[in-house]
Amino acid sequence: MGIFGEAGLRNKVIQNTINLVKEHFNLHADIVVSVLKFKNTEDVAYCTPHEDFYELELSKKFVKNASEKKLVQVVAHEMVHVKQFENGELRYVGEKTFYKGDDCTSQSYWFAEWEREARGYEKAFWALYCERY
C-alpha cells in the first residue's frame, strides 16, 4: 500500500500544503477543507470564499486516487485563489468575476488570468513541498 493507503496521510498532505502556502504568502485566513462527492466527475477542486473563512472543496474521488504530487499541486492551486481573494485581486460580485478590478466574467477558464497565476504556482509549491517534507 502506497503513501495514500490511509486517509490520515492524505489529510496530512493537504494540511501541510495549506500551511506551506499560507506561510509563503503570509496568509492568516481560516481554511476549511471539505471532501465531497462532485456531480461533475471532471471537477477536482474549488475555492469558495465565505464571510469569515475560505472553503477548499475537494472531490472525494480525486483525493482518494491522486498522487501525492497532484494533490499538493491542486491544493496549492486553490490556496493561490485564497491569496487572490485576501489581497483583493479576485472578487465575485453576483454572477460577475473581477480580477485586479477588471470584469473578467467572459474569460474562459484556461485563459483567465487568475487561473494562469494559480497554475503557474503549482510546480513551484510542489518543489517547495519536496524540500520541506
CA dihedral for 131, 43, 64, 16, sign (positive or negative): positive
Nearest-angstrom CA–CA distance, 59 and 56: 10
Q: Please indicate, yes or no, if residue 96 is contained in any of the structural domains.
A: yes
Query: What is the extent of the structural domain holding 98?
Result: 3-125
Average pLDDT score over residue span 109-120: 94
List the one residue out of 2, 61, 66 whose CA is nearest residue 36. 61
Residue 90: how many other CB atoms lie within 10 Å: 25
Which pLDDT value is given to residue 75?
A: 98
Would residue 130 count as lying in a domain? no
- Name the average pLDDT for the chain: 92
Position 5 scores a pLDDT of 53
Q: Assign 6 a pLDDT band (cuts: 50, 70, 90).
A: low
In a domain, residue 41? The reply is yes
Q: Residues 38-85: pLDDT tens digits?
A: 887 778 999 999 999 999 999 999 999 999 999 999 999 999 999 999
Whose grid coordinates read 497565476?
117
Whichever domain contains 32, its CATH number is 3.30.2010
Q: Which residue has the higher pLDDT, 115 or 8?
A: 115
Measured distance CA(3)–CA(82) in Å, rounded: 27
Grid cell digits, residue 47? 475555492
Q: Kindly tell me if the per-residue pLDDT of 3 is higher than 50.
A: no
- Judged against a pLDDT cut of 50, whether residue 1 lies above it is answered with no
